Structure 1
Amino acid sequence: MRIFVFLVSCLLALSVSANERLQVVTSFSILADFTAEIGGEHVQITNLVGADEDAHVYQPTPDDARALLAADLVIANGLDFEPWLPRLMKSTESPAPYIEATRGVLPLRVEEGGARIADPHAWQNLAHAEIYVANIAQALAAADPANADYYQEQRDSYLQRVKELLTEVRVSLGRLPASQRKVITSHDAFGYLGQAYGLQFIAPQGLSTHSEPSAADVAALIRQIRADQVRAVFVENIRDPRLIKQIAEEAGAQVGGTLYSDALASTGPASSYLGMYRHNVKTLVEALGQ
């Protein structure tokens, strides 16, 4: 009987502890990882678009609406990456504070559909992690002032790891020859990485994965790969690899591996943001530097 009472009291304590934690909703897996690193044991995270899933084409569920209504804080990427989320916030009349983790990023502007629009994939520049993490830590501290010092300490510790990886990345990508700095991917998600480290990313699809590329676009890309003697093309974890494999076969290039663009991996080294970044750089260097 005593053992039973002890177990019940432990379960109740765990339940109370979970309920006392800050209830945070994140829009997709990369933000969930940032928030977990900064919030630690003081936050309970509900993430909407999971690992290996595509936020561009995501359809919200009733569970998502319930999570927003119960949230103490909602964290989005912004830059029109998840346009369905502000609409869902409005329709549910969620009272939770809403922040965009890209606040302060100077966005890349690209031509698409006859207009210049902001590229939302700002996390692909590792240096922008400092902006993401600072915004998230500030939002957590505002929502939970009692643990503000903890969030700031976690932020500083995490940013130290970011700086160490920055050094690794600059050295690794700096070794690539100038003739092997063109990269073919499924959709245009790596512009910030290219801008930061002197790579040119080319894709048959634009910033979003909503629409499929035309036959003419694919044919033009194949001709460009042949003309520029691009060695490798890369599939993405959120996209069907068949088109890229077809392009590689017709252009006489190899498939260099999988890059993680808009979502973390479900398991393995790329299941965290820093692990994802390290994996992507290693995959690029191994394929292009041969």
Structure 2
Amino acid sequence: MPSLNMNVDPKRPSLRKNRFSLASLEGWLYVLPSFILFIIFLFYPMVRTVYLSFFYTDTQGKPLSFAGWENFTTLLSSTSFLTSAKATFLFVLYTVPVGVILALALALLANQKLKGIGFFRTIFSSTMGMSVAASSVIWMFIYNPSIGIANKILNFFGFADMHFLLDPNTALLSVAIATIWMNTGFTFLILLGGLQNIDSQLYESARIAGVSSSYSFRKITLPMLSPTLFFVLTVTMINSFQSFGQIDILTKGGPIDSTNVIVYSIYKDAFINYNIGSASAQAVLLFLCVFILTVIQFKLGERKVHYQ
């Protein structure tokens, strides 16, 4: 009986190991440029901000002495910061639900197979192509007490003129309306894409079964669109917490700090008052707030998301 050659080439495992290490090295080389950019523009500023939040700083942002939790306790007992926090949460409450519902309604309309619907899709998504600065200037003219179209409309229906951006009772809501208009284009496009990915055979089966349109919307459209809605709600909420440009152009945080959201308060403390330590502490608190709300949203919202 011939003997089997059980000799194993000792070089084979080392060759496989070398190939694996070379492939791993090649992969890291591809990732390295992005990783370096993340370190420079994301991770380092984040770590530096957390570090500075525990120090008293000079006007150039250099740490002078260790403050411990003093910056945080001062903020949490400050009426100005609490007003900013209240304005921030009201702003998110005004913009996120209304903005998503409006974009969903427009997406449902634009998803109809009608002649000329492409024109309306372009109109509904047109705000996405405009910068925050340009959009804010447009709304500044709309709200202008003398020449603005907003007061013209109010006068047409018999109401008196309003100072939308100068009245503390209406300034935040006015900026929120402008923000909803600015964000509608992006949200509309995402939701329209989600609607167009739903299998049309589901609706045909529903029509054959004789179910109503409202029932189809509740039992087919919303469940199948739930991943897109979940994404849109998360992104819109985070963007609302980070809103800055329209507030800076329209109200500059006024009147009487009614629109002084936390992001704008951070800007004023850092670049106007040169209090980098306090600004860093506010940035850390804002990050923690957004992080906690996002985690809660994932924990509660993902249960109702239907993945195909």
Aligning the two structures, in what range does the TM-score lie when normalised by the shorter sequence?
under 0.3
- With normalisation by structure 1, the TM-score equals 0.25
Higher strand share: 1
TM-score with structure 2 setting the length: 0.24
Query: Which structure has the larger Rg over C-alpha atoms?
Result: 2
Instruction: Flag the structure with higher helix content.
Output: 2
